[in-house]
């Protein structure tokens, strides 16, 4: 029972490099999302998806792209990394949206450092 | 705009004692949900307890309970019989609509043996 799996756990990038953070869930959840966690700021929503082929922006989408070609996978792409993107990134999923009966299940996070 | 405020950056409690973490939120919505998440040093976010705004009865999960005051927009978490494993960051989160949780900035709880 893997739940939400994020890879890699840690990553160091140089400014301007690109990379993809992977997220996969095996719970057949329709809703998937990406959050970033910064000290003193809690978690903020980057992008989310309510089903395969459907994505939308959250609070802080600039500098990030997403796609949802399958129900299971929701990768987050950084096209040109910047030091401001140094953060811990969490992928989370739920059955359908976020509600009392459909709370978010989180992955273990990816710590990204951009130098 | 939806905001969540956790005014206590750090709290400590003696093992076996009770501690209350505070959370207030601001919204004009009448239908919403509230959550407390725990983040231990392993970094994983773990759901502790949840509350529906239209239910006046406070939620309880074993040693964890909430004091939900809708008029005051307050949602505090009480941990009874604190254990060493309760040491973690605790985040209060608020949700209205289906697509986003708004998180507070967290309270770091230390449990003293």
pLDDT digits (tens, 9 = 90+) for A28-85: 999 999 999 998 888 999 999 999 999 999 999 999 999 999 999 999 999 999 999 9
Which residues from chain A sit within 8 angstroms of residue B35, using beta carbons?
103
For residues A4-26, average pLDDT: 97
DSSP A15: T
At residue B98, the pLDDT reads: 66
CA B90 – CA A108 distance, rounded (Å): 16
Higher per-residue pLDDT: B28 or B51: B51
Contacts of B57 (CB under 8 A, 6+ apart): none
Q: What rounded mean pLDDT belongs to chain B? A: 93
Please report where in the chains the tokens 């130098």 appear, as a residue: A115
Which residues from chain B sit within 8 angstroms of residue A45, using beta carbons?
99-101
pLDDT band at residue B108 under the 50/70/90 scheme? very high
At residue A98, the pLDDT reads: 77
Q: A48 at the B interface (CB within 8 A)?
A: yes
Half-sphere exposure of residue A70, counting CA atoms within 13 Å on the CB side?
10
Which residues from chain B sit within 8 angstroms of residue A50, using beta carbons?
98-99
Q: Do B100 and A96 touch (CB under 8 A)?
A: no
At residue A102, the pLDDT reads: 82
pLDDT over threshold 70, residue B1: no
pLDDT over threshold 80, residue A99: no
For residues B53-74, average pLDDT: 93
At residue B2, the pLDDT reads: 72
For residues B2-22, average pLDDT: 95
For residues B6-34, average pLDDT: 94
CB-defined contacts A:B, below 8 A: 65
Q: Do B100 and A43 touch (CB under 8 A)?
A: no
Q: Do B105 and A42 touch (CB under 8 A)?
A: yes
At residue A1, the pLDDT reads: 64
- Is residue A92 within 8 A of residue B47, CB to CB? The reply is no
% of chain B at pLDDT higher than 70? 98
Which of B23, B100, B107, B108 is the mutation pick for testing A, counting most A CBs within 10 A? B100
At residue B28, the pLDDT reads: 85
B110: number of Cβ within 10 Å: 13
At residue B29, the pLDDT reads: 83
State the nearest Cα–Cα gap between A10 and chain B, in angstroms.
12
At residue B30, the pLDDT reads: 81
pLDDT band at residue B78 under the 50/70/90 scheme? very high
At residue A100, the pLDDT reads: 73
Helical (H) or strand (E) element with B11: strand B10-14
For residues B21-42, average pLDDT: 92
CA B103 – CA B82 distance, rounded (Å): 24
At residue A103, the pLDDT reads: 85
Per DSSP bridges, beta strands A4-7 and A10-13 are unpaired
Q: Do B98 and A43 touch (CB under 8 A)?
A: no
Nearest to A15, CA basis, from A91, A115, A103, A96: A115
| B99 → chain A, closest CA residue | A97
pLDDT band at residue B60 under the 50/70/90 scheme? very high
């Amino acid at each position: 029972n893997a739940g939400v799996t994020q890879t890699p756990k840690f990553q160091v990038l140089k400014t301007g490099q690109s990379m993809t953070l992977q997220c996969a869930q095996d719970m057949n959840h329709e809703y998937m999302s990406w959050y970033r966690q910064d000290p003193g700021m809690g978690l903020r929503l980057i992008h989310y998806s309510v089903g395969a082929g459907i994505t939308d922006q959250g609070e802080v989408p600039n500098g990030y792209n997403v796609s949802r070609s399958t129900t299971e996978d929701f990768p987050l792409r950084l096209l040109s990394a910047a030091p401001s993107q140094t953060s811990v990134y969490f992928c989370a999923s739920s059955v359908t949206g976020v509600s009392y009966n459909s709370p978010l299940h989180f992955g273990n996070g990816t710590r990204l450092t951009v130098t | 705009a939806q905001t969540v405020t956790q005014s206590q950056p750090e709290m400590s409690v003696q093992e076996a004692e009770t501690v209350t973490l505070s959370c207030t939120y601001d919204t004009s919505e009448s239908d919403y949900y509230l959550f407390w998440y725990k983040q231990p040093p392993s970094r994983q976010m773990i759901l502790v307890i949840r509350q529906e705004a239209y239910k006046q009865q406070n939620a309880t999960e074993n040693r964890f309970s909430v004091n939900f005051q809708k008029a005051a927009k307050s949602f505090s978490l009480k941990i009874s019989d604190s254990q060493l494993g309760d040491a973690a960051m605790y985040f209060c989160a608020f949700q209205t609509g289906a697509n986003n949780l708004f998180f507070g900035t967290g309270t770091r709880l230390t449990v003293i043996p």
